[in-house]
Amino acid sequence: MTLTTKLEPLNTSFSLGNALRFIEGPNGFVLAALTSEKASATVALHGGHVLSFVPKGQPPVIWMSDEAQYREGKAIRGGIPVCWPWFGPHPDDPEKQAHGFARNLEWTVFSARMINNESPQLHLTLRDDALTRSIWDHAFHLEMIITLTDELKVELQIKNTGDTAFTSGGALHTYLSISQISQISIHGLEGARYIDQLDPSGLKTQEGEIRFTAETDNIYLDTTATCRLVDPGMHREIYVDKLGSRSTVVWNPWINKAARMSDFGDNEYLEMVCIETANAASDTVVIAPGETHRLGTTIRVASL
């Protein structure tokens, strides 16, 4: 199937004029381009993966690696990877891909509509099939609802369509664009208990704001707090609100891990940080048959 034969029926069925249309992305990937009066965003059907969010008058808020690879079966480096049904390594089987399979699969366009005649909303879906069941033997229906105003709202609805309960972990693994890693601070997690993935000797407690002087890979537990990223270099604050999430992961790979990742530039650790809306470790949720869990994040900026 050529790209044109992919794009034409999508635009015929779902485009909303200039507010939402389907375009060609890197390596023939299909992207949805969303535009409101106050911002723009792009979403890859591969992985249901938000790639960009740019409020009017602002530099990009969501970060993408210049080395990102657009290949079937591989996650795109940057944006908002959809990590599901588990976060990090598989709890029992190290052979299974890290962060689950949802970010590596092609999602389907379910609908597109305007909210209040000004905000495009894209609705994507992913259902279980023989491949997913060979990895994780449960029936599910994922819905990804992305709404653009002057903010970016991303909501993952996780429905158990099977007849046995399952444990749902995962994250909206948001990469944020910053001026310089040593200049920023993250507020809102003061006093939260966390797993330092680089020193699993035991739970730690966040003392004050988060600043970065080395590789940082923390899973903050039992917190529903909004995170506020203060970036004096870009004269802005980025807020990460969340819904249905009791974990927040804060990650910067720093020098050595950046150098080990083939789809991550050696110096790109300087210009990004992840604030991830998650349910990980002890915060995973059990979803009963027929029930739905909603996991959402809203990204917004304010000028300093």
Strands 227-231 and 216-220: unpaired
Q: Which residues pair with 124 in a beta bridge?
A: 109, 144
The one among 8, 98, 256, 288 contacting ligand TA6 by CB under 6 A: 98
Give per-residue burial for 264-291: e unless 16+ CB within 10 Å, then b: bbeebbbbbbbbbbbbbbebbbebeeee
Q: Which is nearer to ligand TA6, 88 or 188 (CB)?
A: 88
Task: Evaluate whether 44 touches 104 at the Cβ level (below 8 Å).
Answer: no
268: contact with ligand TA6 by CB under 6 A: no
Active site residue 276: yes
Q: Of 173, 209, 271, 293, which one is the catalytic site residue?
A: 173
Least Cβ distance, residue 33 to ligand TA6 (angstroms): 24
249: contact with ligand TA6 by CB under 6 A: yes
283: contact with ligand TA6 by CB under 6 A: no
DSSP H helices, the chain, are: 3-14, 130-135, 254-260
The one among 143, 151, 241, 276 contacting ligand TA6 by CB under 6 A: 276
Active site residue 173: yes
* Phi, then psi, of 258 in degrees rounded to 5: -60, -40
The one among 258, 274, 275, 295 contacting ligand TA6 by CB under 6 A: 274
Strands 170-172 and 108-115: unpaired
Q: Is 204 helix (H, G, I), strand (E, B) or coil?
A: strand
For ligand TA6 (CB under 6 A), the number of binding residues is 11
Least Cβ distance, residue 218 to ligand TA6 (angstroms): 9
Least Cβ distance, residue 240 to ligand TA6 (angstroms): 14
Q: Which is nearer to ligand TA6, 58 or 284 (CB)?
A: 284
Q: Cα(68)–Cα(295) distance, rounded to whole angstroms?
A: 25
Which residues here bind ligand TA6, judged by CB under 6 A? 75, 88, 98-99, 173, 197, 217, 249, 251, 274, 276
